[in-house]
Amino acid sequence: MPRDTLDRQINNIKDEVLILGNMIEQATLLSVDTLKNRNIRAAHELIEDDQLINDKRFAIENAVLILIATQQPIAHDLRILTAILEVSTELERMGDYAKGICKITIKMGESDIPIPIRDLVKMAELAVTMLHKGLSAFVNENLHLAQSIPLEDDNVDALYHKVYRHVVEVITANPATFDEAHLLLWVAHNLERLADRVTNICERTVFIATGEMMEMDSTDDEDQED
Amino acid sequence: MNKNNSVFESRAQGNLNKRHRVSKIWRSSFFLSTTIGIFSLVILLFSIINQAFGYVIVENKVDPASLSSMPLQSLEREELISILQENVSKNRFKTIQRDNPVEELKRSELVGLVTSEIIKPTTLKSYFLIPSLTNKAEIIRTQQDEFPNAVVQFRSWISPSFLTDPLSTNPDTTGIRTALLGSLWIIVVTVLIAFPIGIGAAIYLEEYSSNNWLSRIIKTNIDNLAGIPSIVYGLLGLAIFVRGLNLITSGVFIGIDQSNGRTILSAALTMSLLILPLIIINAQEAIRAVPSSLRQASYGLGATRLQTIWHHVLPAAMPGILTGTILAVSRAIGETAPLILVGASSFINKDPSGLFSNFTVLPIQIYNWTTRPQAEFRNVAAASILVLLIVLLTLNTAAILLRNHFSKNKAA
Amino acid sequence: MTENKNQPIIIVKDLSIFYKTFRAVKNVDLEIFENKITAIIGPSGCGKSTVLRSFNRMNDFIPGASIQGNILFHDKNIYDEDVDPVQVRRMIGMVFQKPNPFPKSIYENIAWGAKMNGFSGNMDDLVEKTLQDAALWDEVKDELNKNALSLSGGQQQRLCIARALAVKPEIILMDEPCSALDPIATLKIEDLMRELSHNYSIIIVTHNMQQAARASDMTAFFTMDEDRAGVMVEYGLTTQIFTNPKNKQTEDYITGRFG
CATH of the domain at C30: 3.40.50.300
Name chain B's partners: 3 or more CB pairs within 8 A: C
Name beta bridge partners: B237: none
pLDDT over threshold 80, residue C4: no
Instruction: Out of C58, C101, C112, name the one closest to residue B300 (CB).
Output: C58
Looking at this protein, which amino acid is placed at residue A47?
A: I
pLDDT of residue C3 exceeding 60, the answer is no
* HEC secondary structure over chain B: CHHHHHHHHHHHCCCHHHHHHHHHHHHHHHHHHHHHHHHHHHHHHHHHHHHHEEEEEEEECCCHHHHCCCCHHHCCHHHHHHHHHHHCCHHHHHHHHHHCCHHHCCHHHHHHHHHHHHHCEEEEEECCHHHHHHCHHHHHHHHHHHCCCCEEEEEECCCHHHHHCCCCCCCCCCCCHHHHHHHHHHHHHHHHHHHHHHHHHHHHHHHHCCCCHHHHHHHHHHHHHCCCCHHHHHHHHHHHHHHHCHHHHCCHHHCCCCCCCCCHHHHHHHHHHHHHHHHHHHHHHHHHCCCHHHHHHHHHCCCCHHHHHHHHHHHHHHHHHHHHHHHHHHHHHCCCHHHHHHCCCCCCCCCCCCCCCCCCCHHHHHHHHHCCCCCHHHHHHHHHHHHHHHHHHHHHHHHHHHHHHHHHHHCC
Nearest-CA distance C258 → chain A (Å): 7
CA distance A110 to chain C (A): 56
* Amino acid at site B287: I
Using a 10 angstrom Cβ sphere, with 0-12 exposed, 13-18 middle and 19 or more buried, the burial of residue A191 is: buried
User: Of C131, C132, C110, C128, which is closest to residue C119 (Cα–Cα)?
Assistant: C110
**Residues in A touching C254 (Cβ below 8 Å):** 74-75
Chain C contacts to A (CB-CB under 8 A): 209-210, 213, 242-245, 251, 254-258
Task: Supply the pLDDT for residue B104.
Answer: 75
Mean pLDDT across A14-30? 96
Q: Does A116 reach chain C within 8 Å, measured CB to CB?
A: no
Higher per-residue confidence, B379 vs A16:
A16
DSSP C58: G
Domain range list for chain A: 4-210
pLDDT of A52 over the 90 cut: yes
Name the B residues in 292-351 with CB < 8 Å from any C CB.
293-294, 296-304, 307, 311-312, 316
The tally of domains found in chain C comes to 1
Nearest CB to C149: which of B300, B301, B411?
B411
pLDDT value, residue B10: 65
What is the rounded CA–CA span in Å between residue B244 and residue B236?
A: 10
Residues in C closer than 8 angstroms to A3, CB to CB, are 255-257
CB-CB: which of B301, B302, B316 is closest to C103? B316
CB pair distance less than 8 Å for C257 and A72: no
Q: Are there at least 3 beta-carbon pairs closer than 8 Å between A and B?
A: no
Checking DSSP bridges between strand C76-77 and strand C218-224, what pairing results, if any?
unpaired
Residue B254 has pLDDT above 80, yes or no: no
Q: How many residues in total does chain B contain? A: 412
Q: Indicate whether B173 pLDDT > 80.
A: no
What's the Cα-to-Cα distance from B298 to each of A129, B16, B148, C98, C110, rounded to whole Å?
72, 52, 81, 14, 11
Contacts of C90 in chain B (CB under 8 A): 301-302
**Whole-angstrom distance, CA of residue C116 vs CA of residue B312:** 13
Distance CA C7, CA B395 (A): 64
Chain B residues whose CB is inside 8 A of the C100 CB are 291, 293-294, 296-297
DSSP C59: G
Which chain A residue lies closest to C255 (C-alpha atoms)? A74
Best mutation target, C255, C257, C258, to test chain A (most A CBs within 10 A): C255
* Distance from C-alpha of B200 to C-alpha of B287, rounded to nearest angstrom: 11
pLDDT tens for B62-92 read 777 777 777 777 778 888 888 878 888 888 8
Q: What are phi and psi of B123, to 5 degrees?
A: -85, 120
Nearest to B354 by CA among B186, B127, B200, B218: B186
Q: What does the pLDDT read at residue C1?
A: 44
Contact C255 A72 (CB under 8 A): no
Please tell me if residue B10 touches chain C, with a CB cutoff of 8 Å: no
* Interchain proximity A74–C244, CB inside 8 Å: no
Comparing A129-138, B393-402, C112-121, C143-152, the range with the smallest average pLDDT is: B393-402
Measured between CA atoms, the residue of chain A closest to residue C242 is A75
Closest CA to B267 of B281, B250, B283, B255: B250
CA distance A64 to chain C (A): 17
Q: From the list C87, C90, C96, which residue is nearest B293 (CB)? A: C96
Q: How far apart are CA A205 and CA B171, in angstroms?
A: 110
- Average pLDDT of the residues in C101-105: 94
Given C209, C213, C255, which is nearest A76 (Cβ)? C255
| Contact criterion met (CB < 8 Å) for A2 and C257 | yes
Would you list the domain boundaries of chain B?
A: 50-63+120-156, 178-410
Distance CA C182, CA C187 (A): 9
Query: Band of the pLDDT at B409, cuts 50, 70, 90?
Result: low
Distance from CA of C185 to the nearest CA of A (A): 21
Read off the amino acid at residue A150: P
Instruction: Select from C63, C86, C149 the Cβ nearest to the Cβ of B211.
Output: C63
Please give the pLDDT value at position B345.
Answer: 75
> A78–C243: do the CB atoms touch at under 8 Å?
yes
Mutation target to probe the C interface, by most C beta carbons within 10 A, among A4, A8, A76 is A76
Residue of C nearest to B407 (CA): C103
Is B266:B358 a contact under the CB 8 Å cutoff? no
Domain that holds residue C49: 8-83+91-99+170-254
At the topology level of CATH, where does A4-210 sit? Methane Monooxygenase Hydroxylase; Chain G, domain 1 (1.20.58)
Q: Is the Cβ pair B300, C86 closer than 8 Å?
A: no
Residue A25 clears pLDDT 90, i.e. is over it: yes
Residue B57 pLDDT class (50, 70, 90 cuts)? confident
CB B297 to CB C112 under 8 A?
no
CB C91 within 8 A of CB C171: yes
Q: Which is more confident, C259 or B51?
A: B51
Greatest Cα-to-Cα distance within chain B, rounded to the nearest angstrom: 105
Contact B412 C87 (CB under 8 A): no
Alpha helices in chain C (DSSP H): 48-55, 85-91, 106-116, 123-133, 137-140, 153-165, 183-196, 209-215, 238-243, 248-254
> Which of residues A212 and A222 earns the better pLDDT score?
A212
CA distance A217 to chain C (A): 24
**Residue B110 pLDDT exceeds 90:** no
Are C213 and A76 inside 8 Å of each other by CB?
no
Give a yes or no: residue C20 inside a domain.
Answer: yes
Predicted confidence at residue C203, as pLDDT, reads 97
DSSP string, C118-179: T--S-HHHHHHHHHHHTT-HHHHTT-TTSBGGGS-HHHHHHHHHHHHHTT--SEEEEESTTT
Contacts of C18 (CB under 8 A, 6+ apart): C24, C64, C65, C66, C67, C68
Is C140 within a domain? no
C207 lies in some domain: yes
Total number of residues shown for chain C: 259
Does residue C195 sit within a domain? yes
Q: Is C216 in contact with C134 (CB distance < 8 Å)?
A: no
Judge whether C192 lies within some domain.
Answer: yes
Q: Is the pLDDT of residue C97 over 70?
A: yes
| Other Cβ atoms closer than 10 A to A140 | 12
pLDDT above 60: residue B4 = no
Give the residue-averaged pLDDT of B288-314.
94
Residues of C in contact with A73 (CB under 8 A): 255
User: Which residue, among C116, C147, C160, C170, would best test binding to B if mutated, counting the most B CBs under 10 Å from its CB?
Assistant: C116
| Torsion angle of the four alpha carbons A173, A178, A180, A181, in this order, in degrees rounded to the nearest 10 | 60
**Separate counts of helices (H) and strands (E) for chain C:** 10, 10
pLDDT digits (tens, 9 = 90+) for A140-174: 999 999 999 999 999 999 999 999 999 999 999 99
Residue A31 three-state SS? helix
Note which residues in 6-35 of chain A have CB less than 8 A from chain C: 6
Q: How many cross-chain Cβ pairs, B to C, lie less than 8 Å apart?
A: 67
- Rg of chain B taking only CA atoms, in angstroms: 29
Shortest Cα–Cα distance, A73 to chain C (Å): 7
- Residue B271 banded pLDDT, cuts 50, 70, 90: very high
- Distance in Å, alpha carbon of C242 to nearest chain A alpha carbon: 6
- Chain C contact set for A78 (CB, 8 A): 243
C contacts of A72 (beta carbons < 8 Å):
210
Q: Quick check: is C206 in a domain?
A: yes
Which of C213, C244, C257 is facing A3, going by the closest CB pair? C257
The pTM of the full predicted model, rounded to 2 decimals, is: 0.79
CB contact under 8 A, B301 and C116: yes
How far is C-alpha A73 from the geometric centre of its chain's CA atoms? Answer: 28
| pLDDT (mean) for B263-271 | 91
CA distance C145 to C162: 16
- What's the pLDDT tens digit per position in C148-200? 999 999 999 999 999 999 999 999 999 999 999 999 999 999 999 999 999 99
CB C116 within 8 Å of CB B301: yes
Residues of B in contact with C117 (CB under 8 A): 301-302
What is the pLDDT of chain B when averaged over all its residues?
85
- For residue range C10-66, what is the model confidence (pLDDT) as tens digits? 999 999 999 999 999 999 999 999 999 999 999 988 999 999 999 999 999 998 899
From B305, which residue of chain C is nearest by alpha-carbon distance?
C86
Superfamily of domain B178-410: MetI-like (1.10.3720.10)
Specify whether the backbone of C93 is left (phi greater than 0), alpha (psi in -120 to 50) or beta: beta
Res C216 pLDDT > 80: yes
Kindly state whether residue C108 falls inside one of the protein's structural domains.
no
Lowest mean pLDDT among A178-192, B123-137, C29-43, C204-218: B123-137
Find chain B residues with C-beta within 8 A of C102's C-beta.
294, 297-298, 312
